[in-house]
Structure 1
């Protein structure tokens, strides 16, 4: 729906856990530049599925849409999607096909993660690899346990037999895995990385 023209508010440090802010500069054939900004308060109503994206044009609210959202802009569209841990897409998709991720506000969590990547690329790659390894390990634990639960059902067991997971995770281990998985998936969301298998299973 159309926006009401209200002014875009600057990013504040205390909004780090629940606000994402991305920008895109587009220049037309006459050299005029328009700045688009996408403001998403992604923890506000995420449990109810009522998260909205606010599109600002040159600092004024231009349009509002529930997520997932597609906003038409000159030369293409802005595509915004959420995962259970943050954004998984915030891209400018051109009419010709190529797409580009929007630039995060430097004060946002996504912007700080991008700054770490630029300033310390080796450390950034290590953190990213660690996040990936955590999710792969969690999936390796989850799949056998899920198979065990499914084959306990009488209707399934009589056709496939029962399966016993070779991995027995104590209660405290499950908590550790859950916390580590949450941290890993959140870190990946800050980089707008998403896998239906890994991040989807974690969510």
Structure 2
């Protein structure tokens, strides 16, 4: 079965970016035809495989356009493209961006944000390095997520973030540092504290 999709881009750079995304991320058989800023993509496959490929190509077109407003970044694409030193949970990326004052939310297999794909990619790579650093500290998994996102948002080291969060009453001190409140309540408290610091 075949499906043909047609996309109109604003610039030749967007077209080239889209073609790179397709080459990197589309695993089904496809044919691409370009005419100036128009791109035609014919996908071949069966059933769910074809539906998934169509959805992915549409999301990649949105990423290539960049545009204004909310950008939907497929997590699979983000984590394939990012040079990660350590795997990071998607919600850490969203929390870190939210703590910095940007809209970011994980919806299923997509990160919705107001930032460009490149900015999200840079953030994911930086967070991965910070996650690796956080592994040297005795933190519970939930505490590690919060500490990394907080440190990223504040632009401070993991050690400094741990100290600030202990002083703020967010972390419990002990052999292993843990969250004093449930994760969702902790996020709300940190968002309020970070707004006050701006």
TM-score by length of 1: 0.30
Structure number with greater CO (CA < 8 Å, separation at least 6) is 1
TM-score by length of 2: 0.30
Quick check: which has more Rg, 1 or 2?
1
More helix by share: 2
